[in-house]
Amino acid sequence: MLGLAAVLYGGWMLFGMAAGIKTTHLRVDDLPITLYQARDQGDGPVPAVVIAHGFAGSHQLMRSFALNLARNGYLAVSFDFPGHGHNSAPLGGSLGSPERLTSLLDALSKTVDVAEQHAHGGRLALLGHSMAGDVLVNYAKTHPQVTAIVAVSPYLSEPVGADFAPNLLFVYGAYEPEMIHAQGRESMEEVVAAPVALETTYGDPVKGGARRLVMAAGVEHIGVLFNAQTQREALDWLDASFARRAPTQKPTRPILTAGAGLAWFYTGLCLLAWPLSLLLPPMANRPLGAGLRWRPLTIAALIPALLTPVLLWPMPNDFLPLLIGDYLALHFMVYGVLTWAVLAYLGRLPDRAVVMDGLRASSPAVLAGGVLVWLLYAVGAFGWSTDHLVASFFPPLGRLPSLLALLFGTLLYASADAWMVHGAGSARGAVLLTKGLFLVSLALAVVLNLNELFFLVIIVPAILLLFIVYGWLDFLSYRRTWQPWLGALASALVFALSITATFPVVA
């Protein structure tokens, strides 16, 4: 009952944000475009805001911006860059190359054309996150119709320039690295002689060329998108740029954020997994697993964590058309192989006779039905809500080869990790140690190859959340079945699906 109440309350908050909003889906060639506009807006001129996601993002990630702007009288238009989300066209060029910028600018230009057609002569603004910040600034330099830009945690390949005409708002998460904050400060210092003060507008937004720098409290590179201060600053900046209301006036409609709704919704799904797990059939006659105590567990967990990034450092990792996803596939695979090798050295590999004897505790039909229902819930319920409300989760069919390659690696890792942390007499809190060391291993990989793997830093919070949610599901299923590989299978599927859907396909 608590779980159902939390899901309903969270869903009411999340889907209630779209009340009164008309959503239209279009496709221009390979480019998916979504328009958001209040149903009572009318057919007259309206300011248009084109909203662009960052690297490894998708239009769902920017949903809060689109809905808040549409609720307050704007035509909000979002899209998926090439190689991202539901855009089937690959992302062209290499990192930092002119070809890649051209590929991104072309998608933005097509979206702006659609926005201007539906704005009926209204003025234009741009809003973008991370990678998109550089794309928007480059576009605005050659398109004078851009009145204002909201750059959320932007990456900038070069200085904006003191003569940049559109109003420019920078919003960063306070917990982001200083090297990212520095780009915004440098762009502010181009027009401000004195030390830059936060949350201070320099220049007149009505005349153009104004700039402002904001640090959203308590959030990082992804959390900044769901932050109420970020949403409010974006709306205030656009209203000031279009002279729609004075800074002291309240918005037409209050700002709504998705953070609380998502927390309630996913907490409810986790709670509902508890009674569902009680329906699982027995899959073993005793707790299966390596059953390692702290000392052998620590050694077994440290070896793959330290060796994997070192072994992969000199190796090429472009065997998949999936940027950074190809490295993650290798990292999961090598990590899993090393873990199984350590378990073999310790003499703790699975005993086939014991495993098969435990599976005979239930009929094949009951086993198959239990596994199917659990996987449908673990992958489907969480995946569907994520794909609709947060970010792309289910990849297009064209990415099936990449999905299978990733699934091979995630299965090796998840099965080995599950066997290592479970079993009779195993150390309490073992899963916290192994999952923490996996994140440390990714951090070491970034340090060894910062230029190519920097974007891995961005997804660490997402991996941590997946570890928490699916660690809970693994606890529930193992407590009921004594079989560690059911939770491992769910985790492997989720990681393979989410990584394949998230990271961009490249030409």
Give me the amino acid identity at 49.
Answer: V
How many residues comprise the chain?
A: 507
Q: Which two tokens stand for residue 218?
A: 């308590």
DSSP letters spanning 166-222: SEEEEEEETTS-HHHHHHHHHHHHTT-SSPPPTT--BS-TTTS--EEEEEETT--TT
Per-residue pLDDT of the chain (507 residues; tens, 9 = 90+): 999 999 999 999 999 999 999 999 999 999 999 999 999 887 789 999 999 999 999 999 999 999 999 999 999 999 999 999 999 899 987 777 889 999 999 999 999 999 999 998 889 999 999 999 999 999 999 999 999 999 999 999 888 999 999 999 999 999 998 888 999 999 999 999 888 999 999 999 999 999 999 999 999 999 999 999 999 999 999 999 999 987 667 777 889 999 999 999 999 999 999 999 999 998 888 899 999 999 999 999 999 999 999 999 987 777 788 888 889 999 999 999 999 999 999 999 998 877 787 777 778 888 888 889 999 999 999 999 999 999 999 998 889 999 999 999 999 999 999 999 999 999 999 999 999 999 999 999 999 988 888 878 777 888 999 999 999 999 999 999 999 999 999 999 999 999 999 999 997
Count each helix (H run) and each strand (E run) in the chain, helices first.
17, 8
Residue 421 parent element (H or E): helix 400-421
Residue 149 parent element (H or E): strand 146-152
CB count within 10 Å of CB 45 equals 12
Q: Which two tokens stand for residue 43?
A: 């057919």
**Within 13 Å of residue 325, how many CA atoms lie on the same side as its CB?**
29
Q: What is the pTM of this model?
A: 0.91
Burial code (b: 16+ CB inside 10 Å, e: under 16) for 452-479 equals bbebbbbbbebbeebbebbbebbbbbbe
**Within 13 Å of residue 422, how many CA atoms lie on the same side as its CB?**
28
